[in-house]
Structure 1
Amino acid sequence: MHGLGDLESAVMDVLWREQHPLKVRHVLDLLDDERPRAYTTVLTVLDNLHRKAWVSRTRAGKAFLYEATLGRTEAAVRALREVVDAAGDPEAVLLHFARLATDHEADLLDSALSGRDAPDRRAR
């Protein structure tokens, strides 16, 4: 996911897959990672994700329960928005993306855009 490191992305994948709040230990146990990770490493990653507002946490006794603040789709939209905004030429990025879209993706875009109120779209 754009804006996240490899381990942060793996932790988010666990939270999205499980879809309920998890303790650090459960996240660690569910990581699909080739190399073993320390509990403190996963705790640090979850704390960083909390600081970045990717996860929320609630106290459960002495521990915290962590859950994603956005769904996977919303996070992808946020990342795409950041890429388009940072590109400097959003029109070129979007047009290039549209040219690379599969037929199915193009149909989805066409369907979504035809339902929008955009009277100035043809004037551009």
Structure 2
Amino acid sequence: MRRLGDLEAEIMDRFWRWNRPATVREIVDDINRHRDVAYTTVTTVTTILFHKGYLTRERDGRVWVYRASATREAYAAALMEDGLRAGEDPSAVLLRFVEGLDEHELAALRGALRTVDRRSGP
């Protein structure tokens, strides 16, 4: 999975934060509160995100209404999976990754491992 570009990430961030369907107009209006971006540019990038599978869409009258097809966490996990597979030695990749975690992140990892262990239990 390729990492999102800057505008792609900015658009997806709105869908993930809002957790609801939205139109290109809503996205443009929100981005334009912070910086100028053209409606056509956001339309193009949103359409690309749809074709890449990051968004779903349905017609509402004359406009498309988009929704994130997966959560931010699922996207981040897919990036991590790709990173793990990028190395020749998954154990070495995991070790390097874990060595870079702070105490809060390590605690979260331990909790996640316990959860997975319980799910796959006896």
TM-score of the pair, normalised by structure 1: 0.84
Structure 2 partner of 1:121: none
Shift of 1:113: 2.3
Structure 1 stretch displaced more, 9-18 or 29-38:
29-38
* CA distance in 1: counterparts of 2:32 and 2:78, whole angstroms: 24
**1:94 pairs with 2:94:** yes
Structure 2 partner of 1:38: 38
Q: Secondary structure at the match of 1:101?
A: coil
Structure 1 partner of 2:69: 69
Q: Secondary structure at the match of 1:47?
A: helix
Shift of 1:30: 1.2
Q: Which runs of 5+ in 2 are unaligned?
A: none
Q: Which is helix-richer, 1 or 2? A: 2
Shift of 1:34: 4.9
Deviations 1:77-112 (A, max 9, x none): 111111211233322111011111111221222233
Deviations 1:5-53 (A, max 9, x none): 0000000011111111111100111127754111110001011000110
Distance 1:20 1:114, change over 3 A: closer
Counterpart of 1:91 in structure 2: which amino acid? Answer: S
Contact 1:8–1:49 (Cα < 8 Å) also in 2: yes
Distance 1:10 1:38, change over 3 A: same
* CA distance in 1: counterparts of 2:114 and 2:66, whole angstroms: 39
TM-score of the pair, normalised by structure 2: 0.85
Paired-residue identity, %: 37
Distance 1:90 1:13, change over 3 A: same
* CA distance in 1: counterparts of 2:75 and 2:3, whole angstroms: 10
Contact 1:54–1:69 (Cα < 8 Å) also in 2: yes
Counterpart of 1:18 in structure 2: which amino acid? Answer: W
Q: Secondary structure at the match of 2:106?
A: helix
Computed over aligned residues only, the root mean square deviation of the Cα atoms, in angstroms, reads 2.0
* CA distance in 2: counterparts of 1:68 and 1:76, whole angstroms: 14
Q: Secondary structure at the match of 1:88?
A: coil
